[in-house]
Amino acid sequence: MDRILVMDFGGQYNQLIARRVRSLHVYAEVRPYSRITPQEIRDAGYRGIIFTGGPNSVYDPASPHCSPEVLRLGIPVLGICYGHQLMAYTEGGTISPAESGSEYGRTELFCSGHPLFRDVPETSICFMSHTDCVSVLPEGFAVLGHTDHCACAAMGNDERRLYGVQFHPEVTHTEYGMTVLRNFVFGICSCRADWVMDDFIERSVARYREELRGRKVLLALSGGVDSSVAAVLLHRAIGRNLSCVFVDHGLLRKNEGDYVERTLGHELGVNVIRINAADRFLSRLAGVTEPERKRKIIGEEFIRVFEDEAGKLGHIDDLAQGTIYPDVIESGKGDSAVIKSHHNVGGLPSVMAFKGIVEPLRDLFKDEVREVGRRLGIPDELVMRQPFPGPGLGVRIIGEITKEKLDLLREADAIFREELDRSSVRNECAQYFAVLTDTRSVGVMGDARTYGYTVALRAVRSDDFMTAEWARLPYEVLERASNRITNEVRGISRVVYDITSKPPATVEWE
Ligand code: XMP
């Protein structure tokens, strides 16, 4: 199997680069630049290397530099942004601050007819985010593209198969970014497109069978797609040594607990232990209104319940979780700022009774996780289920969480999802749910005045949940949902529709 190495220099799109390459059916893996030697690269037989971006300037003494030998292995290299500058600098070129200051955002790119730009028009839009520029090319390199403010937006040395681009081909804002990556991977590295998710499954199963030999693992099953896929994957690797504790924290959607228990436990044979802990969660959440506090409490309580359960199960070595890549970066474990602490990463209590954490899906994006699930034989109904956050309805109730509010939200949410599921636009929406706001308003029912909660409906389109667009639902769907919710759920007197995209909003309200 042909593989591409993504050498990580600290940029925010590193996993995205790997994911884009994998979408071309060529396996790509991200490794920190400091943790792989030129010898290891050679021995591993990579067909190509991509240097990622990063926030530093190459002249900064603290900036990350790899061994210059990496560029002399005879393996093609594509440097992106910082990686492009690092390549130029290492090869004897000069980097200077751009004359016009930083260049950020969508920018016109003028490129040559070089094979790296095959099928890319002479003028196209690329995404730039940099302050420094390559001002003097290293020997043997030629300029392959420029922008109005950057004379060397792309460079290359064909003899040594070394290339650099100042822009980010991996982000969708770069119109022909995938074409550039495709040209590098197939045209320059001559990779074969023979990687499928089955390889990921096989590698993971073999890896965990080996690493977890003789160990007992407890998996935090939340009922969402991610932890369900992680459960089935690990079950395949270690069978009954995996115990999946499914905490019903009382923050699940209508009928969800029974569905998860039946599908994973009874139908797929995974060892599922369901714990009904709603009271425990509700009493810890009583009176708490601040979103981050709620998340932390739910996260901590989750782990405590697991620890209690682990105690009952006897000796347990590791805790497994369905963390996926967007959770990792949004919790500030990558290089971007903390946006929300996802309970399965950021909210972990510091004192844990487990020896290790097992996160088999940590490098994957949502659509890749679904693909893994499907190939593991998980029914489409579960795999295609929209994602559901670990803290559950807890992040969809604004203000204090009470049993009464949870019951109202569960009913309203079930109605909205049922109406959308019946409509023709269902497949266009990546996620759709109801939120119970803390606002109450006056209504009228029959001749009587009512004073009930306002429910907000949210439906988004998204590929990877890093960005999302609010879905243009047909008025009829919204109308039916609104009528039914206000008629059938006593205590809700108003329904609104959320028309905010991400960014600036997030998908969840808290
Ligand atoms: P946001 O609200 O951050 O959501 O735009 C992006 C995606 O992540 C889900 N989400 C979570 N998933 N634990 C999870 O496992 C969490 O704490 C969490 N918070 C948000 C959200 O539903 C959406 O799909």
Q: pLDDT tens for residues 435-481? A: 999 999 998 888 889 999 999 999 999 977 888 999 999 999 999 99
CA distance 339 to 495: 28
**CA dist., res. 188 & res. 345, Å (int):** 38
For atom 8 of ligand 1, the residue with the nearest CA is 389
Mutate-to-test residue for ligand 1 from 294, 364, 365, 507, highest number of ligand atoms within 8 A of CB: 507
Distances (CA, A) of 25 to 13, 50, 182: 19, 16, 11
pLDDT value at 339 more than 80 = no
Residue 224 neighbours by CB under 8 Å, 6+ apart = 322, 385, 387, 388, 389, 390
Q: How confident is the model at residue 311 (pLDDT cuts 50, 70, 90)?
A: confident
C-beta separation of 127 from 106 below 8 A = yes
Q: How far is CA 489 from CA 349, 405, 407, 409, 479, in A?
A: 38, 11, 9, 9, 15
3 within ligand 1 shell (Cβ under 6 A): no
Nearest to 421 by CA among 456, 452, 392, 459: 459
Ligand 1 centroid–CA 38 distance in Å is 38
CA of 28 to the centre of ligand 1 (A): 25
Give the pLDDT score at 331: 56
pLDDT score of 329: 61
CA-proximal residue: ligand 1, atom 10 (nearest):
389
Question: Ligand 1 centre from 341 Cα, in Å?
Answer: 9
- Place 352 in a pLDDT band, splitting at 50, 70 and 90: low
How many angstroms is it from 149 CA to the middle of ligand 1?
38
Is residue 120 within 8 A of residue 101, CB to CB? The reply is no
Ligand 1, atom 3, lies closest to the CA of: 506
Lookup: tokens for 207: 């890896």
| DSSP labels, 420-475 | HHHSTTGGG-SEEEEEEEEEEEEEEETTEEEEEEEEEEEEEE-SSSSSBEE----H
Q: How many C-beta atoms surround the C-beta of residue 7 within 10 A?
A: 25
Q: What does the pLDDT look like over 424-436, one tens digit per residue?
A: 999 899 999 999 9
**Distance (Å) from CA 367 to ligand 1 centroid:** 14
Domain borders along the chain are 3-188, 197-383, 402-497
CATH superfamily, domain at 3-188: Class I glutamine amidotransferase (GATase) domain (3.40.50.880)
- The pTM of the full predicted model, rounded to 2 decimals, is 0.69
Q: What is the dihedral of CA 234, 237, 240, 241, to 10 degrees?
A: -80
The band of 198, judged by pLDDT with boundaries at 50, 70 and 90, is: confident
CB burial of 188-209 (b: ≥16 within 10 Å; e: otherwise) equals bbebeeebebeebbeebbeebe
Q: What per-residue confidence (pLDDT) applies to 306?
A: 76
Q: Is the CB of 342 under 6 A from ligand 1?
A: yes
For residue 15, the model assigns a pLDDT of 85
Per-residue pLDDT band at 143 (split at 50, 70, 90): very high
> What would the mean pLDDT of 285-302 be, rounded to a whole number?
94
Atom of ligand 1 nearest to the CA of 388: 22
State the distance from the centre of ligand 1 to the C-alpha of 222, rounded, in angstroms: 13
Residue 99 vs residue 334, higher pLDDT: 99
| % of the chain beyond a pLDDT of 70 | 95
In this structure, the residue with its CA closest to atom 21 of ligand 1 is: 389
* Closest C-alpha among 220, 243, 228 to residue 304: 220
Name which of 317, 267, 277 is nearest 300 in CA terms: 277
- Could you give the residue numbers annotated as active site? 81, 168, 170
Q: What is the identity of the amino acid at 443? A: G
The span from the CA of 299 to the CA of 345, in Å, is 9
Determine contact, residues 218/245, Cβ cutoff 8 Å.
yes
Which residues are 441's β-sheet partners? 452
pLDDT at 493 over 70: yes
- Tell whether ligand 1 has an atom less than 6 A from the beta carbon of residue 340: yes
> Residue 224, SS3?
coil
Query: Quick check: CB of 431 below 6 Å from ligand 1?
Result: yes
Say if residue 346's pLDDT is above 70: no
Q: What is the mean pLDDT of residues 89-105?
A: 88
Amino acid at 215: R
Does residue 500 line the site of ligand 1, with CB under 6 A?
A: no
| CA pair distance 436, 491, nearest whole angstrom | 11
Q: Going by CA atoms, what residue is nearest to atom 20 of ligand 1?
A: 389
Q: Which among 300, 329, 342 is the best mutation to test ligand 1's pocket, defined by most ligand atoms within 8 Å of the CB? A: 342
* Pocket of ligand 1 contains residue 389 by CB under 6 Å: yes
Summary mean pLDDT of the chain: 91
Angle (nearest 5°) at CA 236 between 233 and 237: 90
Question: Strand, coil or helix: what is 100?
Answer: coil
Nearest atom, ligand 1, residue 347 CA? 17
Give the residue whose CA is nearest to atom 18 of ligand 1.
Answer: 389
Locate 188 and state its tokens: 């320059």
Q: Do domains 197-383 and 402-497 have the same CATH topology?
A: no
Q: Predicted confidence band at 347 (pLDDT cuts at 50, 70, 90)? A: very low
Nearest ligand 1 atom to alpha carbon 431: 24
In this prediction, residue 336 carries a pLDDT of 38
CB of 430 shorter than 6 A to ligand 1: no
Helices (H), 314-452: 325-330, 366-375, 380-383, 403-422
Paired residues of 129 in beta bridges: 104
DSSP annotation of 397 reads: B
- Residue 291 parent element (H or E): helix 291-313
Decide: 415 and 454 in contact? Cβ < 8 Å. no
Dist. CA 374 → ligand 1 center (Å): 21
- For residue 137, give the DSSP letter: P
Cβ of 508 less than 6 Å from ligand 1: yes
Q: Ligand 1: does its nearest atom lie under 6 Å from the Cβ of 366?
A: no
**Residue keyed to tokens 């030697």:** 37
CATH number of 402-497: 3.30.300.10
Would you say domain 197-383 falls under CATH 3.40.50.620?
yes
What is the H or E stretch that residue 177 is in?
helix 177-182
Of 7, 19, 24, 134, give the one whose Cα is nearest residue 78: 7
Which atom number of ligand 1 is nearest to the Cα of residue 341? 17
Residue 280 forms beta bridges with which residues? none
Report the atom number in ligand 1 closest to the C-alpha of 295.
Answer: 17
Give me 372's structure tokens: 């893994």
Task: Measure 391 CA to ligand 1 centroid, in angstroms.
Answer: 9
Question: Of 437, 389, 381, which is closest to residue 409 (Cα–Cα)?
Answer: 437
Reported confidence tier of residue 68, pLDDT bands at 50, 70, 90: very high
- pLDDT score at 489: 97
Query: What residue owns the CA closest to ligand 1's atom 9?
Result: 389
Query: From the CB of 248, is ligand 1 less than 6 Å away?
Result: no
Instruction: Say if ligand 1 is within 6 A of residue 330 CB.
Output: yes
Confidence label for 167 from pLDDT (cuts 50, 70 and 90)? very high
Atom of ligand 1 at shortest range from CA of 468? 5
Tell whether ligand 1 has an atom less than 6 A from the beta carbon of residue 236.
no
More confident site: 360 or 315: 360
